[in-house]
Structure 1
Amino acid sequence: MKNILACLLPALLCSPGVSQQPTPADNQTVIVTATFEPVPLSENDRSVRVFHTDQQPLLFNDLESYLRLDPSVDLQERGPGGVQADISIRGTTFEQSLVLLNGLRINDPETGHLNMDIPVPLDAISRVEVLHGSGSTFYGSDALGGAVNLITTEPQRTAVQAGIGYGNYGSTEQHAVGAYLARHWSEQLSGSRETSSGFMIDRNYRTSAVSSETWLHTALGSTDVLLAASDRPYGANQFYGNFESFERTKGWFGSVRQQLGAKSEADFGYRRHTDVFTLLVYDPAVYQNNHIDTAWQGDLRRADRPGRNATVAYGLEASGDGINSSNLGQHARNQGAGYASLDLRALKRLSLSIGAREEIFSGGDAVFSPTAAAGYWLGHGMRLHAAAGHAFRLPTYTDLYYSDPTTVGNPGLRPESAWSYEGGLQWESGGRISFDLTGFRLLERNGIDYSKFALSDRWQATNVQNLNFTGAETTVHLRLPASQQVELGYTGLHASQQPVPGLISEYAFNYASQNATFAWSGEFAHRVDARTQVSIVQRVGQTAYPLWDLSVAGSGGRVRPYLRFSNLSNTGYEEVPGVPMPGRTIMGGAEFFWARNRR
């Protein structure tokens, strides 16, 4: 802890004083991820972080750059440029976090390594909400550690923007967005492309994504139609062992969300994903896998308000997924669920919500996942909050059936389950200072990990018993004179079950035991945005390492130049053991922007 604070202190002392447009206050931000019905962030009884990706977008490299602002999120990237990243929340493994797009699941049923294969460009996303703690009552399987919800928003005006950039390691990036706003409908087209020759041999990549989203407004209600596709070929040197490998993934996603009057909504989503993996890039015939998986989901939701301070939400869901794989074979499964919740607000100083979900799987097995949360206003800007909930995860098809020279699955795996508990204090003083401290505990049963006792053995998927996490997370947000924004965050974790002597764990004990962040952002007088961020990460049994990012960008006019530095300290580090990450990287370019005045 002392080492981490020592690293953060110089960055804090060196922050210059400039002017910046303030971000929305907590009482203005409405969240949709931690409840069945939207509530203001300031009234939320769960631990949630919100990042507005449509503000100062030129200052951020990718989605992962936003998520690194949350010290309870541990990103384990195998490469930059959206190539591949594992996401862990509150110490859980990469399989135990759920990724959503507008509340619809986009987790990959083949393997959690591909959960961050986001089908839409970053420019299509306006907000990211991160739920800490169990979320199975709301979304079903996978949300043991939490959930990341990527949210798109209807454009507010007709506009066009396009940018191009160049950097070291032969890197390039291009992006474009076109939005059209009419009286009863609107349309937004987005596209992005990133390439690099690689910072080392066989670490090149070429990622691209496109999306189209249409909004219609009729007497029945609003209709939202989203279509998206992505393509990610990349060198996978050392990704899954001491091999110069190659991998290419493609994704397709489509969804329709339809309001049915003021109280009801129907949603449907479909996802198709392909994954081609070649063990030896220079000799593909030695070993190659080809996986094709699909997933669908549909739901019917309704919310009634029997009283001024009460909301009853309920609904039915159905979903299914399947895979056709040269390695895993052909498999499919379906499930259905029903849920109900009661949310009580403004009961003098108290808020309370309770809910439950019953999920039934093909074959007849069922899981019951209840949750409860409460908040109490103490006055003087202080508020207590607490929550508890049950979560579960079905094994992926890789967990069950995979086999290669280094790894073998286990068809006898049991589903994971966990109970999570949290409680904390929020404090806000006149909009200038906000503080949040939350303690949490996760009690996990039948956790799935890959382990072995000898280096020459293959990794074997097994159930791990009684792996429990205890920790605390805190954030301090300062709005300083001249409208500067400063944020400090820290999360500390401790696992109660120590590794078994002689047992080598691949994932369960690679969590970040300490993670601290410092971030500053502002706007200079001549409309130049700037931000800097320092993160210090310490993984179990490893030395803490710092990552320092710095970026500046124009914020006005038709042409907006930008310059971004990543890992400015040139730190040598590995987020996944054995997979080195690049040193100092630079990306510079310019964006053209045009918008029609609002009617």
Structure 2
Amino acid sequence: MHPRLLFVIVFLAASAGAQQKPTLPSVNTTVVVLGSPVPVSEQDSARAVVSLDTQRAPLAFHQIEDYLRTDSSVDIQQRGGGGIMADISVRGASFEQTLVLVDGLRMDDSETAHFNMDLPIPLLAIERLDVLHGDGSTLYGSDAIGGVVDLSTVKPADTDIRLRTGAGSFGENEQAAIGSITRKKWSDVLAGDRELSTGFMTDRDYRTENASNEFRFASLLGHSDLLFAGDDRAYGANQFYGPYESWERTKGWFAALTQQLNSSTQLAAAYRRHSDIYLLERDQPEGYKNQHIDDGFEGAIRDQRTLVRNLTLSTGLEEDTDQIVSTNLGQHGRNRGAGYAAAEWLESSRGSISLGAREEIFSGGRSVFSPMISATRWLSRSTTLHASVGHGFRIPTFLDLYYSDPSTLGNPNLRPESAWNFDAGASWFPAARVAATITAFYARQHDTIDYTRASVADPWQASNLPGVRFTGVEASVTWQLSSTERLAAGWTNLVGAQSALHGLQSEYVFNYPVNNGRMDWMQQLSRQVVLDTRLGVVQRFEKSPYAVWDVSVARQLGRVRPYLQMTNLANTGYEEIVNVRMPPRGFVGGLEIMLGGF
């Protein structure tokens, strides 16, 4: 019997006779935690924020990047499977202009933003993804020019264990586990996953391993949270950085403490270490080789309190330190400190206004001032207007400044990037089951960092571009068609100004999608089985459009939960990074076993 047919029979047998009621949630008011000094409802948010619940259909999605792809204003530019080398772009901004957070703590890599998604937290331990569209530097600091992605870790409600194993195309093999313990005054979550593949083509194999432990407890001071995590990724890097069959291995370590000092004040501290070994030619380990180790330290104290009715003030002080030791980049270090304040007046069903400012000071005395203002206005019980203006900035990575090889040159004289972002739009909530929004935006960037060259015979040179501009519109709708069926769709259109190149070739900045359409249709096939269909249609600047269709079917309830994930069903040949092929049609199937009641 064909193995895929056998899997389907087992899947249907395990799902038969279910008694539980449907679990698809309604389109309710979502609490937005990004882009605003205080958590607000989606209706009251002046910023465009998308919240993605990773627990809604956890067996329908394979990677964090799969969730992010459902947002039409997010462009994932990935080099390999298994979440390998996935760059994130929001509203046309470069991958280096998107800030990645875990529980509000910075994860951006100081060596190169190509590693920003080298996240050591297993997907099973992620509860929600929040994506802010547009600048976020006032509240979050450097790198938040185009957007912010914040991953929130799981807060356990029960004591249980989940075990998962699966296999599929291209030698795919995966295992994952998560266990949680909850008690009156403390909880602990231990998670890990492992994935490997022989690759869909030569030198595109990979192996990834992630593990994390999060311990929460009530102390004399207040709530305490300790998070420890690590990852190890080895992969064939065929064509990743040029016409070479390269190889790369990265490792990461992350430790964080969040401590509530009182009802309004919180202390946070984190340490991140990341290492990178790169071989230009995989079969020549004694040939061209780079090794980099970078360390990052972060400390912050944040305060939030109500001054008078409907008026909240948020303030904070932050300190960040980055260091690198590299065979190519040398040894470097830098520090920066910042202070910010933001006030928000909010009256539900009437409107809101937020004002904020941040001053960040770098090593050597240079500083950046980042103000922002945003507002909402209710026109009726179902319609709101929103608008915002803000300033974002980014300091160059160590690779931008100091890297050197025959094909790529850094530039130690690079200036920090900055941008003014403007957006305005309307949201419509005609019923509890329908939410729609449309937003027009404009970004005016200064000193944008890109790699340019005059011809293919020249090396790529890091440089500041003077006049990058993006204008666009984004629209989305979420509709709960019934208690068992949900449809979400979005479309984003971008127009960029290429005059900044002055006839030069660009490596990164202008690989943006002029049109990006996304659709996610989830339906309950039975009382336990969920079918999820995702379609993405992308047209990049000066490229032909392409469509990618993914389908997943999974049992959501019960002790044994089979799943089948089918990717690129139309077998589309496409590239998200120029000259780096993406995988063809693929299948991954497996089982998740739930153990509980301890």
TM-score range, shorter chain: over 0.9
Structure 1 residue 308 displacement after superposition: 2.0
How far residue 44 of structure 1 moved from its aligned partner, in angstroms, is 1.1
Q: Is the deviation greater in 491-500 or in 296-305?
A: 491-500
Contact persistence 1:33–1:103 (CA under 8 A): no
Q: Check 1:90–1:316 CA distance in 2 against 1; reply closer, same or farther (3 A cut).
A: same
Alignment of 1:359-374 (within 5 A): 359-374=360-375
- TM score, norm. by length of structure 1: 0.95
Superposed CA deviations along residues 258-306 of structure 1, whole A, max 9, x for unmatched, are 1111110000011000000000000122200000001011111111211
3-state DSSP of counterpart to 1:138: helix
Alignment-mate amino acid for residue 547 of structure 1: V
Tell me, yes or no, if structure 1 residue 23 matches structure 2 residue 25: yes
Mark the CA change 1:500 to 1:365 in structure 2 (over 3 Å): closer, same or farther: closer
Q: Do the aligned residues in 1 keep the contact of 2:558 with 2:594 (CA within 8 Å)?
A: yes
* 2:157 corresponding residue in structure 1: 156
Shift in Å, 1:39: 1.9
Residue 56 of structure 1: how far off its partner (Å): 1.3
1:377 and 1:412 mapped to 2: Cα distance?
A: 48
Q: Which residue of 2 aligns with 1:454?
A: 455
CA-CA distance at 1:463 after TM superposition: 0.4
Separation of aligned partners in 2, 1:307 and 1:526:
48
SS at structure 2 position matched to 1:455: coil
Which position in structure 2 is the counterpart of 1:113?
114
Deviation by residue 1:369-399 (Cα, 9 ceiling, x = unmatched): 0011100001140000001100000000000
User: Conserved in 1, the CA contact under 8 Å of 2:357 and 2:370?
Assistant: yes
Deviation at 1:133, TM superposition (A): 0.3
Aligned to 2:301: 300
* Pairwise CA distance, 1:545: 0.2
**In structure 2, what is the Cα distance between the partners aligned to 1:190 and 1:491?**
36
Deviation of 1:31 (Å): 2.6
Return the letter of the residue paired with 2:35: A
**Helix, strand or coil: the match of 2:294?**
strand
Q: Secondary structure at the match of 2:313?
A: strand
Deviations 1:559-593 (A, max 9, x none): 10000101011000010001001100100000101
Residue 400 (structure 1) aligns with: 401
Partner SS, residue 242 of structure 2: coil
8 Å contact 1:20–1:522 — kept in the other structure? Answer: no
Asked if 1:173 is matched to 2:145, the reply is no
SS of residue paired to 1:169: helix
Q: Report the alpha carbon displacement of residue 220 of structure 1 after superposing the two structures with TM.
A: 2.3
Q: What's the offset of the Cα at 1:523? A: 1.6
Question: Could you say what secondary structure the match of 2:575 adopts?
Answer: coil
Q: How many angstroms does 1:502 deviate by?
A: 4.2
For 2:383 and 2:83, how far apart are their aligned partners in 1?
A: 39
Contact kept, 8 Å, 2:37 with 2:343, in 1: the verdict is no
Aligned equivalent of 1:570:
571
What displacement does 1:501 show?
6.0
Contact 2:77 2:86 in 1 (8 A): yes
CA distance in 2, matches of 1:468, 1:321: 30
RMSD value, Cα? 1.3
Looking at structure 1, the residues matched to 27 and 547 of structure 2 have their Cα atoms a distance apart, in angstroms, of 30
Partner in structure 2 of residue 278 of structure 1: 279
State how far apart, in whole Å, the 1-side matches of 2:305 and 2:103 are. Answer: 22
Native 8 Å contact 1:20 1:484 kept in 2? no
Secondary structure of the equivalent of 1:460? Answer: strand
Q: For residues 39 and 471 of structure 1, what CA distance do their matches in structure 2 show?
A: 25
The superposition leaves residues 517-552 of structure 1 with CA deviations (integer Å, 9 ceiling, x where unpaired) of 111002222411110010000000000000000000
Distance 1:24 1:399 in 2: 46
Gaps of 5+ in 2: 1-20
Map of 1:317 onto structure 2: 318
Shift of 1:219: 4.3
Match of 1:78 in 2: 79
Query: Counterpart amino acid of 1:21?
Result: T
Contact 2:144 2:392 in 1 (8 A): yes
Counterpart mapping for 1:193-342 below 5 A: 193-342=194-343
Q: Which residue of 2 aligns with 1:145?
A: 146
Asked if 2 retains the 8 angstrom alpha-carbon contact of 1:499 and 1:509, the reply is no
| Higher mean displacement: 496-505 or 140-149 | 496-505
C-alpha distance in 2, partners of 1:26/1:260?
A: 33
Aligned residue for 2:38? 37
The one-letter amino acid paired with 2:568 is: N
Deviating beyond 6 angstroms after TM superposition, the runs of 4 or more aligned structure 1 residues are none
Q: Say which SS state the counterpart of residue 71 (structure 2) adopts.
A: coil
Cα distance, 1:444–1:20 mapped onto 2, change above 3 Å: farther
Aligned residues with identical type, % of pairs: 47
Give the 3-state SS of the residue equivalent to 2:124 in structure 1. helix
Q: How big is the shift at 1:430? A: 1.5
Equivalent pair of 1:228/1:252 in contact (CA under 8 Å) = yes
Distance 1:81 1:363 in 2: 40
Other-structure match for 1:123: 124
Alpha-carbon contact 1:20-1:529 (below 8 Å) kept: no
1:482 CA displacement: 4.1
Check whether the contact 1:20–1:521 (CA below 8 A) recurs between aligned residues: no
Between the two proteins, the alignment pairs up a number of residues equal to 578
Q: Counterparts of 1:172 and 1:42 in 2: how far apart (Å)? A: 43
Query: Offset at 1:104?
Result: 0.6
Q: Deviations over 1:6-43 (max 9, x none)?
A: xxxxxxxxxxxxx953336442x323221232222332
Partner of 1:190: 191
Tell me, in whole angstroms, the C-alpha distance in 1 between the residues paired with 2:283 and 2:412.
32
Q: For 1:79, what is the secondary structure of its paired residue?
A: coil
Q: Does structure 2 retain, via aligned residues, the 8 Å contact 1:21–1:522?
A: no
Task: Return the alpha-carbon distance in structure 2 between the equivalents of residues 489 and 275 of structure 1.
Answer: 36
Normalising to structure 2: TM-score of the pair?
0.95
What is the letter of the counterpart of residue 462 of structure 1?
S
Contact map agreement 2:427 2:436 (CA 8 A) in 1: yes
8 Å Cα contact 2:300-2:319 kept in structure 1: yes
Shift of 1:496: 2.5
Q: Which amino acid aligns with 2:369?
A: F
Q: Distance in 2 between matches of 1:299 and 1:550?
A: 42
- Corresponding letter in the other structure for 1:596: G
- Partner in structure 2 of residue 13 of structure 1: none
